[in-house]
């Protein structure tokens, strides 16, 4: 079974771990091609991936609270959309958002090549 959050022909998907290692509503950081990527298991069973470091002050995004639409940085409570990375404060840069999917129980994160 494969569940894509988006598609892109210039992306290579890299396996990072098993979806069974995640708890719904929580995130975990993974090293992917030298970058730290936060992966979240949403309430509906889909996964979302973002940069693991908050663009505001470097907070650990994977430790933030999340719902099906956004994650909140634990340092200063700024919210970031899973759809486009936009911050609730428009003066703060967007959080990088990555493609993510689950294939046969394995989480894969898309990296641009």
Give the CATH number, domain containing residue 85: 2.102.10.10
Asked whether residue 9 is domain-assigned, the answer is no
42-87 residue pLDDT tens: 999 999 999 999 998 889 999 999 999 999 999 999 999 999 999 9
Asked whether residue 70 is domain-assigned, the answer is yes
Read off the pLDDT band of 4 (50, 70, 90). Answer: very low
pTM: 0.88
Asked whether residue 108 is domain-assigned, the answer is no
Separation of alpha carbons 107 and 10, rounded Å: 19
Separation of alpha carbons 7 and 71, rounded Å: 22
Domain region containing 93: 21-98
Angle made by CA atoms 42, 10, 25, in degrees to the nearest 5:
10
Asked whether residue 2 is domain-assigned, the answer is no
Separation of alpha carbons 76 and 46, rounded Å: 26
Instruction: Give the pLDDT confidence score for residue 101 in this predicted structure.
Output: 96
Instruction: Give the pLDDT confidence score for residue 33 in this predicted structure.
Output: 85
Residue tagged 């995640």 (tokens)? 22
Asked whether residue 60 is domain-assigned, the answer is yes
Read off the pLDDT band of 112 (50, 70, 90). Answer: confident
When divided into structural domains, the chain yields a total of 1
Asked whether residue 112 is domain-assigned, the answer is no
pLDDT of 8 higher than 70 = no
C-alpha distances (whole Å) from 15 to each of 29, 33, 54, 58, 82 are: 13, 11, 23, 25, 20
Provide the CB-side half-sphere exposure for 43 (13 A, CA).
7
Read off the pLDDT band of 96 (50, 70, 90). Answer: very high
Asked whether residue 10 is domain-assigned, the answer is no
């Amino acid at each position: 079974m494969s569940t894509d959050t988006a598609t892109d022909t210039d992306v290579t998907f890299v396996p990072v771990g098993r979806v069974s290692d995640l708890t719904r509503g929580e995130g975990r950081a993974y090293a992917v091609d030298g970058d730290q990527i936060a992966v979240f298991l949403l309430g509906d069973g889909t996964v979302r991936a973002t940069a693991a470091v908050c663009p505001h002050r470097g907070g650990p995004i994977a430790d933030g609270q999340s719902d099906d639409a956004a994650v909140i940085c634990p340092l200063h409570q700024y919210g970031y959309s899973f759809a486009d990375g936009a911050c609730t404060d428009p003066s703060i840069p967007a959080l990088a958002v990555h493609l993510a999917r689950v294939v046969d129980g394995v989480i894969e994160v898309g990296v641009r090549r």
